[in-house]
Structure 1
């Protein structure tokens, strides 16, 4: 019998990922709307959502045409552009995986100081 498609570990991972993504977004959204104004922030939110949906559709179409051995972003880049494509996809992906958690710590520390002014200094939240 084959391995199950969706296990409890997969569900835990999905829950953790959703909590981290939605948590950071919900912390920053009120400040973004306050600084940009309702109409500009709503338009920016709509444009970002449209770009994300379009890129997801494009990647899905390419994955439907790709051979079965294409499973990662690096494989996808190699399928589309050869060896250079793998590097053009893998390097920014690695940089994003390294820098996004750092940015979350810095921005989260800044937002937490604003939300809880009588608590710790910004450096304490960041570290």
Structure 2
């Protein structure tokens, strides 16, 4: 019998990815709506959702055509563009992994001083 299509590790990865994406989006959403207005922010939200869905479909189609040894984004980049492709995929991926926690700290600190005005000074979060 073959390997199962969706394992517990796959579900854990999906949960982690959703928490990361929805967490950052929900932290920045009130500020985006306040700055851009209701209609522009709503339109931007739907456009970004469409772009993300399209890119996911494209990556899925390439993964279906790739050999079985292609399992990560780096492997996918190497399959498509050779060694340069691996680097072109891995470097932005690593930058994202480094900057996501920083974005949580900055957005969280900014929103906490807005939600609780008498709790902390903005300089506390800068340090």
Shorter-chain TM-score tier? 0.7 to 0.9
CA RMSD of aligned residues (A): 2.6
2:7 counterpart of 1:7: yes
- For structure 2, list consecutive stretches of 5 or more residues without a partner in the other structure: none
**Distance change >3 Å, CA 55–CA 8, structure 1 → 2:** closer
TM-score, structure 2 length as denominator?
A: 0.82
- The one of the two structures with greater contact order (alpha-carbon pairs below 8 A, sep at least 6) is 2
TM-score, structure 1 length as denominator?
A: 0.82
Q: Indicate the larger mover: 89-98 or 3-12.
A: 3-12
**Distance change >3 Å, CA 105–CA 81, structure 1 → 2:** same
**Distance change >3 Å, CA 126–CA 69, structure 1 → 2:** farther
Could you give the per-residue CA deviations for residues 59-83 of structure 1, whole angstroms, max 9, x where no partner exists? 0010010000000000000000001
Q: Distance in 2 between matches of 1:121 and 1:109?
A: 10
Q: Distance in 1 between matches of 2:72 and 2:9?
A: 20
Report the number of matched residues: 127
Report if aligned partners of 1:109, 1:123 keep a CA contact under 8 Å in 2. no
- For structure 1, list consecutive stretches of 5 or more residues without a partner in the other structure: none
